[in-house]
């Protein structure tokens, strides 16, 4: 089963975030991941949604998604992202 990591976040440092966006794609690709959603316009259809950005990354499996998120290859980029943005990240099993 595919694994999806979904980020919902607000960015505090737009310039820094442009740097972050260059830091993560190589590590994602190494774990077989690909972006399904990377930003874009958000339309809230139900409930309250307090985030300005959504990213969805698809991996071949939940295990590969988890391995990427906790990998040494992503660690530096993750730490940087956490300094310049705030939000939520979830791992979801897909079809």
Q: Is the pTM of this model over 0.85?
A: yes
Tens-place pLDDT, residues 2-33: 999 999 999 999 999 999 999 999 999 999 99
- Taking the C-alpha atoms of residue 55 and residue 85, their distance in angstroms, rounded to an integer, is 13
Instruction: Say what the pLDDT of residue 51 is.
Output: 97
Radius of gyration of the chain (CA): 13
Of all residues in the chain, the percent with pLDDT exceeding 70 is 100
Tens-place pLDDT, residues 44-73: 999 999 999 999 999 999 999 999 999 999
Give the three-class secondary structure for 7: strand
Instruction: Say what the pLDDT of residue 95 is.
Output: 87
- Full 3-state SS string of 35-94: EEEECCCCCCCCCCCCCCEEEEEEECCHHHHHHHHCCHHHHHHHHHHHHHEEEEEEEEEC
Structural domains of the chain ordered from first start: 3-42+49-93 (3.30.70.100)
């Amino acid at each position: 089963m595919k694994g999806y990591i979904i980020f919902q976040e607000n960015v505090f440092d737009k310039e820094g975030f442009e740097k972050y966006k260059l830091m993560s794609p190589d590590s994602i690709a190494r774990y077989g991941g690909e972006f399904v959603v990377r930003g874009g316009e958000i339309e809230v259809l139900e409930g309250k949604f307090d985030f300005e950005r959504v990213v969805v990354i698809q991996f071949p499996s939940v295990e590969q998604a988890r391995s990427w998120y906790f990998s040494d290859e992503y660690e530096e980029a993750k730490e940087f992202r956490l300094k310049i943005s705030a939000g939520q990240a979830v791992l979801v099993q897909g079809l």
